[in-house]
Amino acid sequence: MTTTLFVNARLIDPVALSDAPGALLVRDGRIAEVFETDHPKVRADRTVDCGGMCLAPGIIDIGVKISEPGERHKESFRSAGRAAAAGGVTTIVTRPDTLPAIDTPETLEFVERRAQADAPVHVLPMAALTKGRQGREMTEIGLLLDAGAVAFTDCDNVVTNTKALQRALTYARSLDALVIGHVQEPVLSDGAVATSGKFASLRGLPAVSPMAERMGLDRDISLLEMTGARYHVDQITTARALPALERAKRNGLRITAGVGVHHLTLNELDVADYRTFFKLKPPLRSEDDRLSVVQAVNDGLIDVICSMHTPQDEESKRLPFEEAASGAVGLETLLPAALRLYHAELVDLPRLFRALALNPARILGLPAGRLLPDAPADLILFDPDTPFQLDRATLHSKSKNTPFDGARMEGRVLGTWVDGTQVWGND
């Protein structure tokens, strides 16, 4: 039985929404005790002096793309695992948009084996909702659940066949399986690379109205009323969608929502120079939309902040803006990007970690994401104020497609622990 005592810490508790000095004792990979004093008189095999820095639950990142199988040159479990540890992400929840899609127990088991062998952090795989992510025939949800799938999603392939989606939601409800959806009206969104408005018109970019997100959400909410399924929206990025989300929650539907950190910290003006690292799906929104979504995170209406980590190689990004692939890496930049909201005094640290750790754990039914006795000792120690300029060449991900290249940021991860074992930082 080994013990580690973290002293002189600033404990960020997303359950109590508190930010206060304290200490924490870890025994055999789990939190044994939390102290209100920062130097308790407790014996331990090892003592970590946190130096007054922030100690918080490890980040749980829902919606990470790891390109195994099929595109290992973009990202592997080994490289993504290192990036996650360096970014304070202790659990990555992976997407099934691989080649081939993760839509059978055999493919899922391959992913689990590779993750267990190569990644120093927890890896929880999602499986496709429909076979081949083609939106026609649902996968063997029961068998995939038994094989270890934590949720079901077709990622950014919107299921246009409403009857097929209704059947899948009904079946998922019978097994209490979580379904994750991408709410964009697919016909309106087809080919769009920007949000409609004056800026997109001046730049000559094909654009889509923010109402496409609202329309997609309204449809899925109607299906939830029919089926009673448990449903998580991967990204809400517009002010227009927020009233519908609020009504659905108020009416008792089992719906939660997330947002990618890029949509919380960037806006449509950032693509002014046609830099394809800023090309995302859905596209970056107006500043009014960004501020509305930030407020929704602070209020708890939007439950989760994620990285939407999407590695793309240089060849797929070094193209004209309309032709370039969408997406950005974010495992290592998730925390410093999210801390922009803290430094702007828009969201405090406990509420930030409510969205980064506690709520993802609750949605997935995990005991992690909290600083409580008997919770897993998945922890991060970080300095929220250390300034640095990001150099994408230093990222641990194989792909370097980050919109924050060259940006001035604040916040450094000093140490990451998974089940009480340090996987990042100086001993």
Residue 323 to residue 239: CA distance in whole angstroms? 28
Q: Taking all residues of the chain, what is their mean pLDDT, rounded to a whole number?
A: 97
- Cβ atoms within 10 Å of 52's Cβ, excluding its own: 11
The pLDDT of residue 249 is above 80: yes
Taking only the tens place, the pLDDT of each residue in 390-405 is 999 999 999 999 999 9
Q: Is residue 140 part of a domain?
A: yes
C-beta separation of 334 from 326 below 8 A: no
Q: Is residue 42 part of a domain?
A: no
Q: Which amino acid is at 159?
A: V
Mean pLDDT of 253-263: 98
CA distance readout (Å), 396 to 93, 99, 232, 311:
18, 22, 29, 12
The pLDDT of residue 31 is above 70: yes
Mean pLDDT of 120-131: 98
pLDDT > 90: percent of the chain: 99
Residue 178 to residue 155: CA distance in whole angstroms? 13
Confidence at 215, pLDDT banded by 50, 70, 90:
very high
Q: Which amino acid is at 67?
A: S
Taking only the tens place, the pLDDT of each residue in 90-119 is 999 999 999 999 999 999 999 999 999 999
Q: Is residue 95 part of a domain?
A: yes
Q: Which amino acid is at 400?
A: K
Domain count, the chain: 1
Q: Is residue 132 part of a domain?
A: yes
Q: Is residue 9 part of a domain?
A: no
Confidence at 427, pLDDT banded by 50, 70, 90:
low
Taking only the tens place, the pLDDT of each residue in 297-346 is 999 999 999 999 999 999 999 999 999 999 999 999 999 999 999 999 99
Identify the pLDDT of residue 1: 76
Range of the domain at 163: 58-364
Identify the pLDDT of residue 272: 87
Q: Put the strands of the sheet holding 178-181 in their side by side order.
A: 152-153, 178-181, 230-233, 255-260, 304-306
Residue indicated by tokens 């230093």: 394
Q: Is residue 237 part of a domain?
A: yes
Q: Is residue 121 part of a domain?
A: yes
Residue 424 to residue 379: CA distance in whole angstroms? 11
| CATH number of the domain bearing residue 71 | 3.20.20.140
Residue 69 to residue 82: CA distance in whole angstroms? 18
Taking only the tens place, the pLDDT of each residue in 156-205 is 999 999 999 999 999 999 999 999 999 999 999 999 999 999 999 999 99
CA distance readout (Å), 403 to 66, 221, 271, 324, 427:
19, 32, 10, 14, 31
C-beta separation of 350 from 234 below 8 A: no
Taking only the tens place, the pLDDT of each residue in 264-286 is 999 999 998 899 999 999 999 99
Q: Is residue 427 part of a domain?
A: no
pTM: 0.97
Taking only the tens place, the pLDDT of each residue in 33-79 is 999 999 999 999 999 999 999 999 999 999 999 999 999 999 999 99
